[in-house]
């Protein structure tokens, strides 16, 4: 019986797929493009080609499956909340029809609030869709991806500054995507858990936005300053960078939610929720080379 991953081409899904294959577990991946998962198929994964919101595709993928890892794709249109819910309901129907025993859902901090959390708005409904049909569901709620700072590489290289509409004193959990994938693999490979569970994935420590200055300055070997901007200025900056207005509104809502607590974790920090990769280590190994490459290209 296989484990099914609906997003094997993303940052987390690919790392998870590789871990499961290394563990010798039968794996099924859903992908529109066979080329993008050719390496996984070569290593033994079964491919079901098609879209993750297609009922027929999900039926084929989940037939005979033991477990499903479900990751809601990134915001893909103004109707992303309805689309995400309907895709999850379609998958949940197939889970029930085929008697899939376990589901692991990748959610997010802030999902407990539903509306008012920007791109996280859709995830509470996704969580509930799978809980309604499966007795054993683990919902992973990670903190803010360290990899999101890669969006700021150009600005960091050019100005040495990080511009965000979040109070300097706000402390949040930053987590590396590799650690999220490792936690997902740990849960999927453990057959002993039961029931509906919420598991935080919080990185090694909460970090304030003011602390980013020292962390990034040391890691990058150059002075970095954090500049708090207004939500409206952030929105204008996103639109100016070519992001559609509706999407800029979605992310502005999320940033507002970080500031007022709507994006705080519902799960307390514990040994179970704490993951190993520090922001400093990630910045040295991932962010620094990216910034250096951007600076070299601009020179």
pLDDT value of residue 248: 96
Q: What is the 3-state secondary structure (H, E, C) of 110-125?
A: CHHHCCCCHHHCCHHH
Give the Cα separation of 15 and 179 in Å (integer): 10
Strand partners, 141: 200
**pLDDT digit string (tens) for 267-293?**
999 999 999 999 999 999 999 999 999
For residues 77 and 83, the answer to whether their CB atoms sit within 8 Å is yes
Q: Which residues of the chain have pLDDT under 70?
A: none
pLDDT value of residue 7: 96
The dihedrals phi and psi of 273, each to the nearest 5 degrees, come to: -90, -15
Query: Mind listing the domains of the chain with CATH numbers?
Result: 2-145+174-201 (3.40.50.720)
For residues 172 and 237, the answer to whether their CB atoms sit within 8 Å is no
For residues 279 and 144, the answer to whether their CB atoms sit within 8 Å is no
pLDDT value of residue 1: 83
Q: What is the 3-state secondary structure (H, E, C) of the chain?
A: CEEEECCCCCHHHHHHHHHHHHCCCCEEEEECCCHHHHHHHHCCCEEEECCCCCHHHHHHHHCCEEEEEEECCCCCCCCHHHHHHHHHHHHHHHHHHCCCCEEEEECCCCHHHCCCCHHHCCHHHHHHHHHCCCCEEEEEEECEEHHHHHHHHHHHHHHCEEEECCCCCCEEEEECHHHHHHHHHHHHHCCCCCCEEEEEECCCCEEECCHHHHHHHHHHCCCCEEEECCHHHHHHHHHHCCCCHHHHHHHHHHHHHHHHCCCCCCCCCCCCCCCCCCHHHHHHHHHHHHHHHHHHHHC
Rg of the chain over CA atoms, in angstroms? 19
pLDDT value of residue 76: 84
Give the Cα separation of 21 and 201 in Å (integer): 23
Strand order of the sheet with strand 206-208? 144-145, 171-175, 206-208
pLDDT value of residue 298: 81
pTM: 0.96
What are the structure tokens assigned to 193, written together?
């858990």
What are the structure tokens assigned to 105, written together?
């859902």
Strand partners, 30: 48
Give the Cα separation of 235 and 250 in Å (integer): 9
Give the Cα separation of 267 and 276 in Å (integer): 18
């Amino acid at each position: 019986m296989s484990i099914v991953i609906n997003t094997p081409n993303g940052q987390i899904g690919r790392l998870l797929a590789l871990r499961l294959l290394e563990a010798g577990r039968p794996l099924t991946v859903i992908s529109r493009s066979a080329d993008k998962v050719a390496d996984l198929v070569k290593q033994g994964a079964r491919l079901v080609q098609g879209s993750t919101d297609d009922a027929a595709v999900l039926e084929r993928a989940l037939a005979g499956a033991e477990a499903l890892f479900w990751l809601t794709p990134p915001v893909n249109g103004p109707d992303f909340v309805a689309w995400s819910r309907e895709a999850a309901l379609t998958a949940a129907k197939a889970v029930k029809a085929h008697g899939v025993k376990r589901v692991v859902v990748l959610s997010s901090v802030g999902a407990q609030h539903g509306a008012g959390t920007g791109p996280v708005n859709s995830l509470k409904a996704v969580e509930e869709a799978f809980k309604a049909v499966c007795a054993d569901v683990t919902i992973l709620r990670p903190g803010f991806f360290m990899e999101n700072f890669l969006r700021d590489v150009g600005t960091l290289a050019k100005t040495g500054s990080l511009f965000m509409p979040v109070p300097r004193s706000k402390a949040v959990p930053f987590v590396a995507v590799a650690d999220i994938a490792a936690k997902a693999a740990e849960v999927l490979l453990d057959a002993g858990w039961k029931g509906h569970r919420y598991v935080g994935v919080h990185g090694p420590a909460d970090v304030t936005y003011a602390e980013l200055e020292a962390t990034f300055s040391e890691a990058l070997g150059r002075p970095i300053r954090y500049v708090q901007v207004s939500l409206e200025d952030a929105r204008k900056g996103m639109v100016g960078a070519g992001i559609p207005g509706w999407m800029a509104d979605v992310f502005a809502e999320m940033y507002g939610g970080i500031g007022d607590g709507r994006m705080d974790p519902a799960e307390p920090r514990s040994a179970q929720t704490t993951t190993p990769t520090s922001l400093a280590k990630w910045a040295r190994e991932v962010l620094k080379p990216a910034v250096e490459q951007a600076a070299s290209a601009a020179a």
